[in-house]
Amino acid sequence: MKGLDKVLQGVLKFRKTIRKDLVKQFEEVRDNPQPTALFFTCMDSRILPSTVTHYIDKENKLNIEDKLSQINTLQQVLNIASHEFMFDYMANNKVFIHAMWFDIYDGNMYLFSKPEQCFIKVDEKNTDQLLRYVENEMKGISNNHQHSNNCCH
């Protein structure tokens, strides 16, 4: 699990070094944005938000934009996995696709956990646990996991 471990270690380094200043910058433009351009990425109108929002925000604490952003993140995982050239790579365990979501307002990174069925904040307390989830998923291990309420609410 070298690839994801490296990504998660990068998230931890980001949390210690850059996050604080970046959050300050986002706070400055949050309430009074003055964009000069609008950029759309990977939008798909075929997904019905109501079918997945109960997984995204079980306690209904996120604003609609964040819910839709997380839904879009999961939709992009499905889009990437649907390309024929990816089939052999995924079937032979050469490529693994993980959904990660960045909250620009608090500078936190979240990883989607299939066992928890929600995004979980990546921090110093849970990186090892998140790696175990992913490693077990990659091995096809179905553990009778009890939900730990680690979802991002």
The annotated binding site for Zn(2+) is made up of: 42, 44
- Contacts with 8 (C-beta within 8 Å, 6 or more apart), sequence order: 111, 122, 127, 130, 131
Distance in angstroms (rounded) separating the CA atoms of residues 19 and 65: 21
Residue positions forming the annotated binding site: 42, 44
- Contacts with 130 (C-beta within 8 Å, 6 or more apart), sequence order: 8, 111, 113, 120, 122
